[in-house]
A = this chain, B = another copy of it.
């Protein structure tokens, strides 16, 4: 029998999480990562084309990501009574949009990162022009596969999938993730206030995490009340994720992270620890997760995965 495994929550969270002891987060993550990876390979099969664009797309798509957004989408869908499998097309679209954003962020004109998750970045392997196009192609494919899936559905389900396209476009667009990236560029070398830093993260990483949960909620046919609660959950988890990222850049293990640590400090980046100190940042992460869990109080036990993911977000070491 496989041993039960879960990452223990920080002591402050214990009261919120006693219902979870029977939930296996590790096997849940493993199962759905595998399903998502298979769905991604079906969506974008290596096609033997000689131009290398699919190879470049797949290089970054299968670079060992955590699949956090897809898994949040699945867990949100399940939390309102939907079937996780039904949200796989949305999972693929989310991961393609996330991957495109990483490819473009890593470009020399942006963050100029040569390594991600321990592997050379897309432009290092395939050249800058191909990397730009691979990002463009992943973004385009994300919308195309949602439209294809929508058209394969019975008419009464099509509005659900149209709404997933709308969630994704808003989250990824010029008043979502891209606005966050612009703010990040503009904040280089400037010291931000706490509200400004949170606004940046709400857009840069938070918008797509919220979209993941909203898309899962749509597919699971959430009620209005469930939708609002899930949105609050996603908002808090998205910020907690970023705080933990900042903490890991100080305390993390480069081997496990697949990237160097201490780089934020070197670059003078605006981070939670830089603005409020490391201990206050850790306390903020715990508060955010507590608030995320509280938002789920309207639900029954189907939120075990969402609860465990919220805890994992700040307990993770990579």
Contacts and interface: CB of A to CB of B under 8 A. Distances in A.
Interface in A8-53: 49, 51-53
Interface residues of A, number: 50
A133 B178 CA distance: 7
A143 to B, nearest CB: 4
Interface in A145-178: 146-148, 150-151, 155, 158-159, 161-163, 165-166, 169-170, 172-174, 178
Contacts of A109: 107, 109, 127-129, 132
Nearest to A155: B155
A179 interface: yes
Q: How many copies does the complex hold?
A: 2
Interface stretch (A182-190, A260-268, A297-305): A182-190
Main secondary structure of the interface of A (DSSP, over half): helix
Q: Which 9 residue pairs are nearest across A and B when measured between Cβ atoms?
A: A144-B169, A109-B128, A137-B174, A51-B182, A147-B165, A143-B143, A147-B166, A140-B173, A137-B178
Interface of A: 49, 51-54, 57, 100, 104, 107, 109-110, 127-130, 132-133, 135-137, 139-141, 143-144, 146-148, 150-151, 155, 158-159, 161-163, 165-166, 169-170, 172-174, 178-179, 181-183, 185-186
